[in-house]
Chain A
Amino acid sequence: MQYRSTSYTVFQIFNFVLIGVLSLLCILPLLHIFAVSLSSRDAATANIVNFWPVGFTLAAYEQTIGNQNFLRALMIGFQRTILGTVVSMGIITMAAYSLSKSNLKFRGRNMYAWFFVFMMLFNGGLIPTYLVVTKTGIYDSIWALVIPSAVNVWNMILMLNFFRNLPSELEDAALIDGAGHFTTLFRIFIPISMPAIATMTLFTMVFHWNSWFDGIIYLTSMEDYPLASFLHTVVVKENFNEVGVDLENLQEISNRTVKSSQIFIGALPILLVYPFLQRYFVKGIVLGSVKE
């Protein structure tokens, strides 16, 4: 083999180490927070925790789970994720089916397509969007987190590209057998596109779970915040007293371990779906969108 030269071996060793260090760098911050969340208050305040818990205790998690406000935010986070994903995927799938037709079969298709693509190029900006949301009756409800972001043009394009690459014989056969567009979509296109739909569903779920800003601007009470918005306010902005952690317990458990446990719980759903996500995104999304 050509690979056996000394310089190449030296490079291989160097490269091996470099890749290892880079990979570790990506996971160590999360690992550190996890270790802090499982450490005793004393160890956390003394700054001796690295990547392994010191004085192992679950007290921070007990505190977090016992916190009604945190639990409520967690539940709202799940609600928002499920509702938002269902609404968005439904709307996008239906629209993508129509847009996957050629302009010959469906005159007006190009006009519709440009209508949506233009939204990727230009937007009214934060303030006008905010004012429209406040005026349309969804302000201060969970729908304000679900509806305005429902039409994700990028997902729509991925989906329509996927539909367009399905064999056209399938659709022709269905039409000859007397199926209309609704039947073709729901009985043929959606069932055979399940892998693509599953991928996009996972991505949409991650998007909703991670969204925090809309909660902060469209909801007036912190009691209605989904977890991401809650964490932003509690952990990042440090309004610790507002959220009803009782002060006596604060003596026992340092802010830092409780915060760390909240951050970790915020990341946990992502870590749980990540293996499924990873299996799909390499071939599903990338190869689907870059076609020659």
Chain B
Amino acid sequence: MTMAATDSSTALRPTPQKRKPIKGRWLSYVRKTWPLHVLLLPALIIALIYNYTPMFGIIIAFMDYEPWLGVNESPWVGWEHFEYLFSYPDAKQVIWNTIIIASLKIVMQMFVPVVFALLLNEVRLTWYKRTAQTLVYLPHFLSWVVLGGIFVDILSIRGGIVNRFLGQFGIEPIFFLADGDWFRITVILSDIWKDFGFSAIIFLAAIAGINPALYEAASIDGANRWKQVLHITIPAILPIFIVVVTLSLGRVLDAGFDQIFNLYNPLVYDKGDIIDTFVYRVGLQGAQFSFATAVGLFKSIIGFILIVISYRMAYKWAGYRIF
């Protein structure tokens, strides 16, 4: 409401509230909120160019895109690339690798952090607990480039420290990164190694939020520590556990590009190649832009469906909302 626009003679008289004409309302909306739109502008422009334009760029999955022809000139080929994808044995293997590696990672991420949080909560020495936390959170912040370099060194067949250690128990050197099955195991274990500590934080926070009076009451009623964990701690972290588990279902096609790209080599392509690394090799190194886009689109669409379902489930079962 702007006073300047009101006639002084009518201002004193109580007038029935009149709806402003559409144009006036629009003007006052703009006047009140234009700074908010301006503040959003940089983010909007960047998102439009670098996030939304590529979404429309997926149409090249239905073309034979050639860089010198551009999007307008390249010929349409319909579903050809998708048909090729589903008839091409390598592609099937890649999809299967992705699902198996990602699902095993999800299963590990489901249980290791929560068990670790419960165990850590039983440690009574504060300094010991703090130190443990400091050490286990650290790997989360190191990049897979650094960790890739480290793992290639320590898992080496020629005197890597892990094989030397196993050798003391009479175990023959293991080709961790050169044998397909061992590669999968290495990828899954190193993934949980990197993130179990950090993923436990959310459970530790939930445990810290439990009212101590509950434990006191239980202990007066004669419940031992095990009973207290079973009937107080676990029920208290169950909602957040459900949220974490359901949200992780959205990642069934995310097998961890950064990790695998820094650890794999042609020897393990048959069991270690995943959709993302395949797209990179075929699309950017092999310049088959359209086919790689089709593979990527397949992944994006399945991923989209899974994420939407998992968010809905998390909302329904645990009242979780992202904002």
Contact = CB atoms under 8 A, between A and B. Distances in A.
Interface of A: 2-3, 5, 8, 11-12, 15-16, 18-20, 22-27, 29-30, 32-33, 36, 47, 50, 90-92, 94-95, 97-99, 101, 106-109, 112-113, 115-117, 119-133, 136, 147-148, 150-151, 156-157, 160-161, 180-182, 185, 206, 209-213, 217, 228, 231-232, 235-236, 256, 259-260, 262-263, 266-267, 270-271, 274, 277-278, 281-282, 286-287, 290
Given A16-B123, A228-B143, A286 B205 contact: yes
Given A97-B39, A125-B300, A228-B145, A151 B46 contact: yes
B122 A122 contact: no
Nearest to B151: A29
B119 A236 contact: no
B174 interface: no
B42 A126 contact: no
Question: From DSSP, what is the main secondary structure of chain B's interface residues?
Answer: helix
A26 B47 contact: no
A220 to B, nearest CB: 12
Nearest to B36: A98
B224 to A, nearest CB: 5
B148 to A, nearest CB: 5
Nearest to A124: B54
Contacts of B37: 98, 108
B180 interface: no
Interface stretch (B91-99, B102-110, B130-138): B130-138
Contacts of A286: 201-202, 205
B250 to A, nearest CB: 9
Contact of B153 (A26, A213, A260): A260
B57 A128 contact: yes
A161 B322 CA distance: 10
24 contacts: A15-B123, A18-B119, A19-B123, A22-B116, A22-B136, A26-B138, A36-B153, A94-B43, A95-B42, A97-B36, A106-B33, A124-B58, A124-B300, A128-B55, A128-B56, A132-B49, A151-B46, A228-B145, A231-B149, A236-B149, A256-B153, A259-B153, A290-B205, A290-B240
Contacts of A231: 145-146, 149
Given A3-B225, A16-B128, A263-B150, A126 B138 contact: no
Contact of B283 (A126, A157, A180): A126
Interface of B: 29, 33, 35-37, 39-40, 42-44, 46-47, 49-58, 60, 67, 116, 119-120, 122-125, 128, 131-132, 134-139, 141-143, 145-154, 158-161, 164, 193, 197, 201-202, 204-206, 219, 222-226, 240, 257-258, 261-262, 276, 279-280, 283-284, 289, 292-293, 296-297, 299-300, 303-304, 307-308, 322-323
A84 to B, nearest CB: 13
Contacts of A90: 42
A267 B138 CA distance: 11
Nearest to B203: A286
Contacts of B262: 232, 236
Nearest to B158: A47
Given A15-B122, A25-B193, A126 B39 contact: no
Given A15-B122, A22-B136, A206 B141 contact: yes
Contacts of B223: 2
A247 B35 CA distance: 60
B179 to A, nearest CB: 19
Contact of A210 (B40, B143, B304): B143
